[in-house]
A = this chain, B = another copy of it.
Amino acid sequence: MAKQKIADQVNLLSLPANAKAKPARNGKATAQSMATRQREISVSEFFSRNRHLLGFDNPRRALLTGVKEAVDNSLDACEEAGILPEIEVALEQLADDRYLMRVVDNGPGIVKGQISNIFGKLLYGSKFHRLRMSRGQQGIGISAASMYGQLTTGKAPRIISRTGPKRPAHYYEIQIDTARNKPQIIREEEIEWDHGKGTQIEIEMEAKYQRGKQSVDEYVRQTAVANPHMTLRYTPPDGKSIVYERSTKEMPPEPKEIKPHPYGVELGVLMKMLQATPHRTLQGFMTQEFSRVSVRVAKEICEKADLKPNGRPKSIAREESDRLFKAINATKLMRPPTDCIVPIGEELLLQSLQQNVTAEFYTSTTRPPAVYRGNPFQIEVAIAYGGDIDPNGSIGLMRFANRVPLLYQPSACAITKSLIDTDWRNYKMSQSSNSLPSGPLLVMVHMASVWVPFTSESKDAVANYDEITKEIRLGLQECGRRVGEHIGRVKREAEAARKKDYIGQYIGHIAEALQEILSDSDKKTKDVQANLKGLLERSRS
């Protein structure tokens, strides 16, 4: 028993399971000797070995990823509970290559029974199984950060959570048993805590703090831009706190959960749904389990598939479900409802951008909702031009997905691609082929969706779906056009001013010449001069 336990524990470290396989006769493996080695790999083992997939590939990025996952969760929880988020982020340097990150929120807290799972188990959460916009979606992030801390320092993350001022605050130290992907509670107690409600997480990890691009500083700054209803106090390792105050007290509207749209469902999934549905008729199944299927539409689909609307879903054979699938995709359906996604909005985008940078021109647009593979999404673009923005080199680009800034892998991202594919020379900007435009431009692009298709688990880049790049391009063009008009107007005005100055220089001479010819009085000449000036002003304004 004890031995078995030891063997298991060794396995959980992803070490080779030595001496387990039966040696085959000639030293070569056989199906039988190979079978003794075949076994389950826990998802924690998998990701601890592949942790670069989760954004923990180097100490600098690990610090950013840890903070990001914690803040994402805090914001999601606050919004879902209807609480204006107040968040603290603090970094402390403990040794040359070791930091403590602390994130505290004023959210709803986590009930005692769930704390260990949420921080000590990969692929556990509340957001994966529903179609509704949120920052987190996979149930990996924060537990991966815990695991990384544990792997690199051997220390368990420390969690405090309280669900209300009259309830106790629970303190936990939790490790992940990587072989089983299960939480191991190291310590657990009720403590005094000076927060009435909320959650605090502290993770000690091998990390590196560095300012600049792709830093925690930058992440925090951009998060404030995309979340104007949030107040965030950030204390970097030097102890000098920065507070990002909210610019609105209005909560963003709560996104609604939706049912899947029929266009996004594949044949295999449809067949399983038919088997699993509690509805007794095909029509009931179609109208109740999908969005945008009215009774009329359900009947139309059934007719096309040559199936009876009152037939039993469970008794539909393979071939018939194939017909049903084709009929669905041959029927015109309304787009999915879009109250499942909540854009930031043109006005708040402008305000955020104005707080962030002093420019001479700002513009923003929120595109109408669109759909990719049955998933609703919405694109927003905001641009600042001129002013304090550095006019040299490539433009600044801030990418966001569901209000979360994306700092890594810009070149793999559909947002960057769309920006490059847009012809900015149409908008009086310079741009060499296959490059970002150059000039004093700061571009912000936000994709809001019930399911953002990221190119990796670390959620750094949006995958290249045609529907998505098209919408981004349209948003960029709309704002780009306005910037181009602004640049044109400024140019014209400057030109006019130049001409005016030029003509203005001659007014004195003309007046003098007139005086000489007409022998006018000095006063008359002054009047003439004033009249001429007035004329010039009027003609050029």
Contacts and interface: CB of A to CB of B under 8 A. Distances in A.
Given A9-B275, A53-B457, A151-B266, A80 B29 contact: yes
Given A40-B121, A130-B16, A81 B273 contact: no
A270 B26 CA distance: 36
A401 to B, nearest CB: 14
A412 interface: yes
Contact of A123 (B16, B43, B268, B454): B43
A173 interface: no
A58 to B, nearest CB: 10
A355 interface: no
Interface string A259-290: 11000001111111101111000000000010
A253 B114 CA distance: 51
A255 interface: no
B268 A38 contact: no
Contact of A13 (B30, B269, B411): B269
Contacts of A138: 41, 46, 50
Interface stretch (A105-113, A233-241, A515-523): A105-113
A395 B275 CA distance: 53
A13 B272 contact: yes
Nearest to A17: B129
B32 A257 contact: no
A408 to B, nearest CB: 12
A128 interface: yes
Contacts of A126: 34, 37-39
A117 interface: yes
A45 B43 CA distance: 13
Given A126-B39, A139-B41, A276-B9, A82 B26 contact: yes
Interface string A23-52: 000101111101101111111011001101
A46 B46 CA distance: 14
Interface residues of A, number: 96
A16 B137 CA distance: 12
A150 to B, nearest CB: 5
B52 A463 contact: yes
A110 B268 contact: no
A30 B159 CA distance: 19
Contacts of A42: 123
A38 B108 contact: no
A524 interface: no
Contact of A273 (B10, B128, B258): B10
A247 interface: no
A359 to B, nearest CB: 31
Interface string A172-186: 000000000000000
A337 interface: no
Nearest to A43: B43
Contacts of A213: none
A456 interface: yes
B35 A110 contact: yes
24 contacts: A10-B273, A10-B277, A11-B129, A13-B272, A16-B258, A17-B130, A28-B81, A29-B108, A30-B163, A31-B109, A31-B163, A34-B77, A35-B114, A37-B130, A39-B126, A41-B125, A41-B138, A49-B451, A50-B138, A50-B454, A52-B463, A151-B267, A151-B268, A412-B412
Given A13-B276, A16-B129, A154-B318, 19 more contacts: A9-B276, A10-B273, A10-B277, A14-B129, A15-B273, A15-B289, A16-B259, A29-B80, A29-B81, A29-B82, A34-B80, A34-B81, A38-B118, A38-B125, A40-B124, A49-B128, A151-B268, A153-B268, A154-B321
In the complex, the 6 A-B pairs of residues with the closest C-beta atoms, listed nearest first? A28-B82, A37-B126, A9-B276, A16-B130, A31-B163, A151-B268
